[in-house]
């Protein structure tokens, strides 16, 4: 489980909105000078707002500006990263191969490759919207209390 500490910026009936600041481990990385992440981290980090499901916890236990610890399973991060990076790349390569097989001129092949890349990006976006409410992919609260499990009848 990858954990992060954040600040509650909104409390809703079934979830919290948590502000996190992405911090880099650039100080321990050998590529510090040659990495773009290092430059971004020096500018103060990147603020993210995450929707964290309460999973049966009482919303009254949380107030604005409370500090909470959230977690995301490693496999969700790994699989999501692979999907986000590989799908547009595969779209680009497939579109290039198809354009070459059809005998398109070089300029048209480049435009087709770009269209394949955009199509792959669109597929990633569609998948993101489709799985937005999937509880298996959501960050969870790590606060020492177990969520209420609703029994199905």
pLDDT at 104: 96
60: Cβ contacts below 8 Å, ≥ 6 apart = none
List, for the chain, all residue ranges whose pLDDT scores fall below the cut of 70: 21-47, 144-153
pLDDT at 108: 96
pLDDT at 44: 58
pLDDT at 86: 97
pLDDT at 153: 44
d(CA 57, CA 148): 7
Task: Yes or no: say if 55 and 80 are a contact pair by the CB < 8 Å rule.
Answer: no
pLDDT at 148: 45
């Amino acid at each position: 489980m990858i954990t992060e500490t954040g600040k509650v910026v909104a409390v809703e009936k079934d979830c919290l909105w948590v502000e996190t600041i992405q911090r880099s481990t650039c100080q321990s990385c050998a590529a510090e000078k040659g990495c773009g992440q290092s430059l971004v981290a020096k500018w103060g980090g990147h603020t993210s707002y995450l929707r964290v499901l309460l999973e049966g916890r009482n919303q009254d236990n949380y107030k604005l500006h409370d500090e909470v610890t959230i977690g995301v399973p490693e496999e969700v991060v790994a699989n999501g990263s692979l999907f986000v990076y590989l799908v547009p790349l595969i779209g680009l390569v497939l579109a290039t191969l198809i354009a070459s097989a059809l005998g398109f001129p070089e300029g048209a092949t480049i435009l087709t490759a770009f269209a394949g890349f955009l199509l792959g990006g669109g597929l990633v976006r569609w998948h993101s919207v489709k799985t937005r409410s999937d509880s298996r992919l959501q960050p969870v609260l790590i606060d020492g209390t177990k969520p209420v499990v609703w029994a199905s009848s």
